[in-house]
Amino acid sequence: MKRVKTLAIPALMALAVLAPPAAWAQAGMEQNKMDSMKMDMPATEGEIRKVDKVAGTLTIKHGEIKNMGMSPMTMAFPVKDKAMLDLVQAGDKVTFKVGSEGGKIVITELQPAK
């Protein structure tokens, strides 16, 4: 009986050591899935209401933002790249994409409407 216990402990220790890499691989696959979802984000149409260079935000009256489950409304969004603030002015029609970065919703892409 003592022999079984002696073998069980090293086996359990080996299993504990081998489990984290599998978990890390799973986490990496989940991150790749999230990154590919970001690439497939649909663009949303909107109209610039305000450009706030000090706060680094664009206030946009927008349609539904499907990837965020957000209804049409007017709200201020921080921009991922502050250079976007120089591309538009109040009244401009735009298409844009938003994503979540650091737990915040940010504009990741911005294009003047065609």
Class of the CATH-defined domain 44-112: mainly beta
What confidence score (pLDDT) does residue 34 get? 47
Per-residue pLDDT of the chain (114 residues; tens, 9 = 90+): 555 555 566 665 555 555 555 554 555 555 544 443 445 678 999 999 999 999 999 999 999 998 888 999 999 999 999 999 999 999 999 999 999 888 899 999 999 987
d(CA 30, CA 114): 35
What confidence score (pLDDT) does residue 42 get? 85
Q: Which residues contact 55 (CB under 8 A, 6 or more apart)?
A: 76, 78
Query: pLDDT tens for residues 12-29?
Result: 555 555 555 555 455 555
What confidence score (pLDDT) does residue 67 get? 85
pTM over 0.75: no
Q: Which residues contact 48 (CB under 8 A, 6 or more apart)?
A: 58, 59, 60, 88, 89, 90, 91, 92, 93, 94
